[in-house]
Chains A and B, each alone.
Chain A
Amino acid sequence: MKRVLASVAIAILTFIIYIIFSGSVSPYDLLTACAAAVLVGALTGTFVVAEPAKALNPLRACHAVKYFFRYMLIDEVRAHTDVIKRIVSPRMPINPGIVKVPYYVNTDYAMTLIANSITNTPGTVVVDVDKEKKCLFVHWIDVKTVKPEEAREFISRVFEEHSKKIFD
């Protein structure tokens, strides 16, 4: 049952991507999209999805959309402004270093979302991850603190809250 549901989740994803990429909803597109969805779902379902109940939960998808807009419109803009200020400032106020940032989510997907959110904002880059100790190593353009918990407050707390709602 779990396997079938995992395949269904991937089939839905494949169908949506196929239709978006084709850019039309003619009978030919719908038919071939269904065929592609069944094929890809059956082949990759269990590999991609471990817990189908989460993948098929529309509430989580809503959270993901909400987070996308929040991230792109607020977090990205804030980080860009900060880095632009540092670049144009003649004193070049940077204090780079690598800090340890713990995370408290359980799935790989949730951790990946946090890590990619950190890397995608300018000023911070995840350079390594320790899954056993559950921490990320982040290169920070302006190291305000080297204490892991405080650094987490600055860098990843907001990302983690959203990531938990979407993937964990």
Chain B
Amino acid sequence: MKYERALIAVAIVVFILVLSYAVTLGAMGSTLPPRDLRLLAKLYLWLAINPWTRNLTVMSPEAVTSIVWDFRGLDTFFETAVLYLAIIGTVAIYRGVYASSKSREVPISEDEVGMSPIAKSVTKITLPIVIAVAVAIALHGHLTPGGGFQGGSTAAVILLLVLVVFSLQYSIRMGITKGSTLALRSAGLLGIAVTSILVLILGLLVGCQSFIFQNQPKAYAPVGVPAFLDGMLVSGTLILFNIFECLAVAAGLTLTFILVLTHEEEIRSVMKGDRHE
């Protein structure tokens, strides 16, 4: 037994050493990217915020967000779609299960369910603090590293903590239900979808050319979302994408947590057909 452990430890060390040696020798290919790739990177940095080339810039000092929600916005849209397909899959598997809908009628006090009062107090104080940080991450997505997805995940973490510490039953009484999170998530997704065709609609209304996922006015499509709002930099569609993505991610992840935390007997009784709503 002892020798076995030592053998495993030695094997891991040897593996890491060999791998890092191989990488240093160039086993993963050349360390330098090809020249034309570097040109692309240069262009991204050049155009992320550039008031002198208004036809090509995103007007956001945060290059990553410019790439994610503008230069390759369509890519991000499908990435988001993949995550939501996974969540939709979860909802579909658990269809008909309305987490502890019976217990909603029975009034329960905070002390009867969940973890210790110490865990509850700490979670209570942390809740507004973490949500404040989450909102700040999302709303500064076009200015500093972060954005809607990161902000939404941060908010989802504290909501998961509430679900676990206060128990699912109590959380449902407080309004964190399958229905409310599903509605919020759908509102967020709808917001993303509308924002992606916002400039297209504007162009149709004005009667000029425009594209999906367009942000700033382009040479042949002179419509766009304003980059400044009363002197404050909002980077056009980027702030809208970040707000809606934050909402959709926070609600979507919380929705899966609720479903995963549902009692197995309840799910089975629904799936067997004993109970349906």
A-side residues, CB < 8 A to B, are: 10, 13-14, 17-18, 21-22, 26-28, 31-33, 36-37, 39-41, 43-44, 47-48, 108-109, 111-112, 115-116, 126, 128-129, 131
Contact = CB atoms under 8 A, between A and B. Distances in A.
A17 B231 contact: no
A43 B132 CA distance: 12
Contacts of A115: 118
Contacts of A116: 118, 122
Nearest to A114: B118
A48 B127 contact: yes
Contact of B128 (A40, A109, A126): A40
Contacts of B233: 28
A36 B117 contact: no
A90 B129 CA distance: 45
Interface of B: 111, 116-118, 120-122, 124-125, 127-129, 131-133, 135-136, 139-140, 174, 230-234
A27 B131 contact: no
A36 B231 contact: no
Say whether chain B's binding surface is mostly helix, strand, loop, or mixed: helix
Contacts of B127: 44, 47-48
A108 B115 CA distance: 13
B136 A18 contact: yes
B20 to A, nearest CB: 35
B174 A129 contact: no
Given A40-B135, A111-B121, A116-B122, 9 more contacts: A18-B132, A21-B133, A31-B232, A36-B136, A39-B135, A48-B127, A108-B117, A126-B118, A129-B116
Contacts of B140: 22
Contacts of A131: 111, 117
A33 B132 CA distance: 8
A18 B124 CA distance: 17
